[in-house]
Structure 1
Amino acid sequence: MRTRAEFLAARRGRRLNGPHFLIEALKRPDEAPPRFGLTITRKVGNAVERNRIRRRLREAIRLHAGADMVRGFDYVIVARREILTLPFDELSRELARRVRKTQLAEPSARTPRPGSE
């Protein structure tokens, strides 16, 4: 995923919050291969730390969670600072577990966020 519109669209989908990251998943109308996007805000750290988090997440997706991603879904992973110190095996397991869980979770009827209307 590359455009802001794609990231914002994923916010309307399923949402799984966790201690290390948040996953937002949206079912698209097509059955194309799954897409993912990473969001690491400046609050998390400087550019070096954000890039290290990004590399760790991409590798965890490539090795473990990518196989669990479902065709026709967009996934946005919003990272938190704890990913820097989290052991890679634990990060991979947690990411794969949460991606599998997005398939089972029903979209919740969330209240709109302030300012989103």
Structure 2
Amino acid sequence: KVQIMGKILAKGTGIGRKSYSGFARKVQFPGKDPFNDGDILIAETTGADYEPIIARAGAIVIVEGGLTSHAAIVALQYKIPAIVGAQEAFAKVSNEQVLTVDALSGIMYEGSISIL
């Protein structure tokens, strides 16, 4: 695997093998915070109330959690690239910032990065 390196914003445990580039959307209140289809969900944690958003997400990055967390299980169910346990993610990201989520390596990059 060859990567075109970009600025690393957060690291955690990757769920899946895909990468995805898109716009970040920080969500604290599901159903109230705006979210567009294909956005990258950035959240502190997830629960059942997040599932309608996760189903529309291009990727998810969650501050808390591990391999058996709600976010990890739902990401696998929807076949969405995810990173869990990414402790810096919520603090380092702005809404509508372009990000790349590399689930295979568990790294979130700033900008749109080609991962081969």
For Structure 1 versus Structure 2, the TM-score category normalised by the shorter chain is under 0.3
TM-score for the superposition, normalised by structure 2: 0.27
Larger helix percent: 1
TM-score after normalising by structure 1: 0.27
The structure with the largest alpha-carbon Rg is 1
Structure possessing the higher relative contact order (Cα contacts under 8 Å, 6 or more residues apart)? 2
Q: As a proportion of its length, which structure holds more strand? A: 2
